[in-house]
Amino acid sequence: MTAIRILSETTVNRIAAGEVIERPAAAVKELVENALDAGATRISVALTGGGIDRIEVTDDGIGMTASDLALAVLRHATSKLTDDTLVRISTLGFRGEALPSIGAAARLSMTSRPRDQDHASTITVEGGRVAEPAPSAGAPGTRVVVADLFYATPARRKFLKIPRTEGDHAEAAVRRLAFAAPQVAFRLESDGRVAFDLPAQDRAARVAALLGGDAAAAMIPLDAERGDMRLTGFICSPAINRATANAQSLVVNGRPVIDPTLKSAIRVAYRNVLEHGRHPVVALYLDLPPEELDVNVHPAKTELRFRDSAGVRGLVIGGIGRLLAGAAGTDMPAPALMEHRPSMHLWQSRPSTHRGGIQALPLPEPLNINGSLAEAQLPLHAEPFARMLSRPAERSPHPLGAPVAQVLDTYVIAVAADDSLVLVDQHAAHERLTHEAIRTQMLDGGVRTQPLLLPAVVDLPVADASRLLARTDELGRLGLEIEAFGPGAILVRALPAALGAPEPGPLLRDLADELEEMEETTALSSRLDAVIARLACHGSIRAGRRLNVAEMDSLLRQMEATPRAATCSHGRPTFLKLSKAEIEKLFGRR
């Protein structure tokens, strides 16, 4: 080892640059944040080569004088802190690191002009070497150009991805800032392609414009408060989901963040209505007193530290949970059929009454549906499907309408009050009804049990049997009464009454699998919904079971009255809805 020495300022700046500017997206983010802090009403971003070759950010903010430019490129020089306490931070930037970090790693040029001056000034920084500001031409505001990012630190440049990947990350960064500041017009161009060009607009219009597609049409307003904290924005129903969490926009006090506390709360809020491995689409805005928040956690300022993190989690989980608790066909919009299948055949070319075809409904008396009167039906092989509806009558008053037929002995077809066609997965729907029934009983003090006429003996691997027997008391509160019956064998004396009469063996095996994923010291109550979901799946009507009209109607009515009935216990949709406009689009009428 050599003697200890003090590093040169250039080397220090290059080391520090790696913390703040790890890729082009970070540089873009810092420059756009500066523009927003400068009061810009319009921001334009242009990228070349994914931002590796060139980044240009132009704004119409307050601008800087020549002396301001000279200070702006010095480390830890900032106009954004009014004191040294770092408590009430109201700007996006405040550390004074971004511009010197970019200047240490790239070729930086800034041209700026305050509105009250007749000319602009330009300053350049290349690899940490700062030139004197010089007079130049320029419109009011600031134009920043970053060229050859990381040319001064080749090792860092080698770790960058291909331009397209880096450009995608930069675009995502600008989108997050556009979510956070809808009052500002944003334009993003990448290699000559306009990614978006948004005018100043209200929050709902901005969120819809950036989400686009199915999510824009399914936004549900959210407004919840807890003490001094307020959570607003939009969520989408569980049916609108993505393979990653990239479609989640989180803004705290006007700052776009990627915060683990908030992401965890969102995941918990959707956990019981969304399929594992899928992620909801949300745009959330949290506002709280600045002193309740520490933004000085990481140089990128995307992670936060909340003074009352439990309160924040509770607000997010509770606010989203109340919206998701809506009954089917009422508060939560149903997923459109087109979102799941571009084309769907509702019957086979040669219909039949056996499993795999369509079951005709033997209606005992006329049933009012969608402006027509369904008469007593002949089997479908004798009468065409179209004759199931004939004479005019009153529409059904119910959100999910009245049942028309059962398809494949699995799906119930109904026509809703708004003339939409509804397709219900009978197993998924009944699974949610059973889930909520058991959950309600559990929260009310205990699940009602149904003793078995003859206790059943279930053989299991010894490890599985041990896991179940270790939870005998907790399972008993869920209505499942078991006891040991020799090595690897369990005697089942009673089941939850809401399940009907399922086979105990498959039920116990599924519960053992659920318990295997839990720590031995974890209370069952902490995974209550997951355990109940296992139970509910075994107590629900199965695909392939034929239902009569009364059963179908009862299923629809219970869905309309049951919380979270738009999805099953595993997060899959329980029903799909196809509007008249969507039907006409399928047939090329629109």
| Three-state secondary structure string covering 407-445 | ECCCEEEEECCCCCEEEEEHHHHHHHHHHHHHHHHHHCC
Residue 573 tokens, joined: 């949709």
Average pLDDT taken over every residue of the chain = 81
Least confident of 104-118, 377-391, 532-546: 377-391
Residue 51 has pLDDT above 80, yes or no: yes
Residue 481 tokens, joined: 């009464």
Average pLDDT of span 460-469: 87
Task: Yes or no: say if 590 and 581 are a contact pair by the CB < 8 Å rule.
Answer: yes
Residue 375 has pLDDT above 90, yes or no: no
Residue 453 has pLDDT above 50, yes or no: yes
Kindly state the helix (H) or strand (E) to which residue 177 belongs, with its residue range. Answer: helix 163-180
Least confident of 171-185, 282-296, 317-331, 418-432: 317-331
Q: What confidence score (pLDDT) does residue 381 get?
A: 37
pLDDT digits (tens, 9 = 90+) for 53-93: 999 999 999 999 999 999 888 876 665 445 554 455 666 75
Query: Domain extents for the chain?
Result: 9-198, 203-324, 335-590
Closest listed residue to residue 399, CA positions, set 325, 323, 328, 326: 328
Q: Cα 546 vs. chain centroid, distance in angstroms?
A: 36
pLDDT band at 15 (very low <50, low <70, confident <90, very high): low
Q: What confidence score (pLDDT) does residue 387 get?
A: 29
- For the ranges 252-266, 343-357, 430-444, the one whose mean pLDDT is highest: 252-266
203-324 and 335-590 share one fold: no
Q: What confidence score (pLDDT) does residue 485 get?
A: 92
Quickly tell me which residue has 């999805």 as its tokens.
567
More confident residue, 128 or 176: 176
Q: What confidence score (pLDDT) does residue 313 get?
A: 92
Residue 63 tokens, joined: 């601008």
Q: What confidence score (pLDDT) does residue 369 get?
A: 28
pLDDT digits (tens, 9 = 90+) for 107-158: 999 999 999 999 999 999 998 899 999 999 999 999 999 999 999 878 788 8
Give the DSSP letter of residue 449.
E
pLDDT band at 348 (very low <50, low <70, confident <90, very high): very low
Average pLDDT of span 550-571: 87
pLDDT band at 350 (very low <50, low <70, confident <90, very high): very low
Q: What confidence score (pLDDT) does residue 566 get?
A: 87
Q: What confidence score (pLDDT) does residue 301 get?
A: 59
Q: What confidence score (pLDDT) does residue 546 get?
A: 84
Average pLDDT of span 535-550: 79
The strand pairing partners of 339, in sequence order, are none
Neighbours of 539 (CB within 10 A): 22
Closest listed residue to residue 461, CA positions, set 512, 524, 515, 531: 512
Closest listed residue to residue 283, CA positions, set 182, 169, 171, 170: 182
Average pLDDT of span 149-173: 89
Quickly tell me which residue has 């209200």 as its tokens.
202
Residue 9 has pLDDT above 50, yes or no: yes
Q: What confidence score (pLDDT) does residue 363 get?
A: 33
Average pLDDT of span 442-447: 81
The strand pairing partners of 234, in sequence order, are 221, 283
Residue 517 has pLDDT above 90, yes or no: no
Average pLDDT of span 164-171: 92
Residue 41 has pLDDT above 80, yes or no: yes
C-alpha–C-alpha distance, residues 503 and 506, integer Å: 6
Level-2 CATH architecture, domain 203-324:
2-Layer Sandwich (3.30)
CATH top-level class for 9-198?
Answer: alpha beta
Average pLDDT of span 443-469: 87
Share of the chain above pLDDT 70, in %: 79
Least confident of 171-175, 183-187, 539-543: 539-543
Q: What confidence score (pLDDT) does residue 389 get?
A: 38
C-alpha–C-alpha distance, residues 58 and 185, integer Å: 12
Quickly tell me which residue has 């369509």 as its tokens.
358
More confident residue, 49 or 396: 49
Q: What confidence score (pLDDT) does residue 364 get?
A: 34
Residue 43 has pLDDT above 50, yes or no: yes
Output phi, psi for 111, to 5 deg.
-120, 125
Kindly state the helix (H) or strand (E) to which residue 549 belongs, with its residue range. Answer: helix 549-561
Give the DSSP letter of residue 360.
P
More confident residue, 201 or 79: 201
More confident residue, 172 or 325: 172
Level-2 CATH architecture, domain 335-590:
2-Layer Sandwich (3.30)
C-alpha–C-alpha distance, residues 334 and 324, integer Å: 12
Least confident of 120-134, 197-211, 400-414: 400-414
Closest listed residue to residue 483, CA positions, set 501, 508, 502: 508
